[in-house]
Structure 1
Amino acid sequence: MAVYRVPPVPPSEITPRAAWLNRRALIAGALASLPVLSAARPAGAAQDPLPLKPGPFGTSEPPTPIKDVTSYNNFYEFGAGKADPSRNSGAFRPEPWTLEVDGLVAKPRTFDLDDLRGFPLEERVYRMRCVEAWSMVIPWVGFPLAALLDQVEPLGSAKYVAFETVVRPEEMPGQKGLFQPLPWPYVEGLRLDEARHPLAILAVGLYGRTLPNQNGAPVRLVVPWKYGFKGIKSIVRISLVEDEPVTSWKRMAAHEYGFYANVNPAVDHPRWSQASEIRIGEGGFFSPSRRDTLPFNGYAGEVAGLYAGMDLAADY
């Protein structure tokens, strides 16, 4: 038996067209470093360009350099260190892939990658905030989670959406060995209204290309107003359920990681402050750029209404 241990956006935030075009040029230049992306892919599975259009949400902040986005990650299935996912994910095979959607739905369905990449894809440039006080700005490629949920028609009794990641210890070295950082499979969840919010997406790529292994290939959840551990990667199952799912980090350390995980600078993690954050890729190694943490990661104008009347210190 394994032993476990804890190891509507305001107009000012919508990217002007000129800035977006400039960012696309920046991204095109960054793609010259695509060997960083493909290094963790098996032979024959290099990141392919994805058809996409600019999404309705965005930020004018410059994207985090692609080398940082693909080399500084939390993905415990490949190891607990930030560099472990890029180092240890080369054996992972993200294709072929199926995503089962079941539970309290009228039309349960299994989607393959062609189905997922067949949804109208958009680029969503989101601020992303990790509970360990670091942040990035990432150009995701994906589609609203609500579009997938519409395909299966949730029943009136469905109140939550549960997500489950793949278990492949032969390909994911972080899932094997006596001392495991988490119970597997990794499980996350959202309230149904959160899952249907237009900011919540299923990402199948970043920087205009298919997702690299270390970033959650081939499909992952992105909810930019929440801390990063809500963004479950390499999803194989989505279930509509009536009761709140018991999520992996809440199961491991409920006093540190709540179900909601909304970015809240007024509520500290028990072991560190959440009032400020370090933006990865800015300011250099010896003087990294630090900034104040924004409520809901800067998306309060869009999502604060979801939590009206709740005590966000208790429902953390």
Structure 2
Amino acid sequence: MSGNQLLMTHPEFFDGILKSHPILHTSSTPIYSNPSFQILGYALEAMTNQTYKSLLQRDLIKPLGLSRSSYDKPEDDTAIIPGPAMSSFYGVDAGGETARWMKPRAHTSSLEVSVGAPWEIFTLTNPRLIDLYTKQGDLGMYSSMLALSPEHDVGFTILAAGESTTEAVTLITDLTINTLIPALEDAAREEANTQFAGEYSSANASIKITTDDQPGLKVTEWTNESVDVRQLLVSKLGLQNASDLSVRLYPSGLKAPGRVGFRAVFQDNSEGDSGIGPVTRACTTWSSVDSIIYGNVGADEFVFGVDGSGRAVSISPRALRVEIPRVEA
């Protein structure tokens, strides 16, 4: 701490922790904890034999060019201080509190809110399930919101100082989400249509890909050696009609120079949402990935060949050992 408050030593901090009663049983419910991040800072210092201040400067502030961020209190002439300094906790040296952290660690009583480390994760259901990783903070007369959408590679920050900032920040956040996410979805669909949709054809194979208002890329036609592959899948999956089969491609997150990986999801459209509860209505396609194997390669594995701008120039259903060039419009 700073100002008139004394700095607590490591032994004093842990002595206080050990003498404190538990709030609740461990791993039973989400609770916000400042000391947990203090302990993390001490652990980093012990692991690296450096101070947390030097680690923050070396590994975060300097690489990201955060010229207005610091471990210590910044100069007063660069700050926005509403009212007396201590009324906003401006003089308090709070230290640093900030691929595994981007996952829920616990759920709350709301189906739309989970708790990460240290994120508050909001799940949007329209137009589809989208997780927003947020960190909201309030200290005195300051309020802030950091929000990230990993699926869109987009985020935003809201900073406020003054009266009633908590209410203002939450309201602005919802307004931003309601405007931004639909626009990002439309932009992503347009980009996917430009980059991947179209006809791919060779002497022995062809695939037609389109986009619609549903997630992913839709495979509407697929032949190999004059055989309708979609019809083969209908038989393999035990479906009644070809119209019942949905084949959609989703990014696998795997990339190499000139290559982008996708996985297909084969689904029975006739099932609909006719279940009577969460178990019978559950999406179980996640458990059938790579389940249809041909020549030791999953029938659902696809690789797009792309040019320097990321635009697809070919597609390879890897199980069939063919690479099909894109037909230019």
TM-score (norm 1): 0.21
TM-score (norm 2): 0.20
Q: Which has the higher strand share?
A: 2
By relative contact order (CA 8 Å, sep 6+), the higher-ranking structure is 1
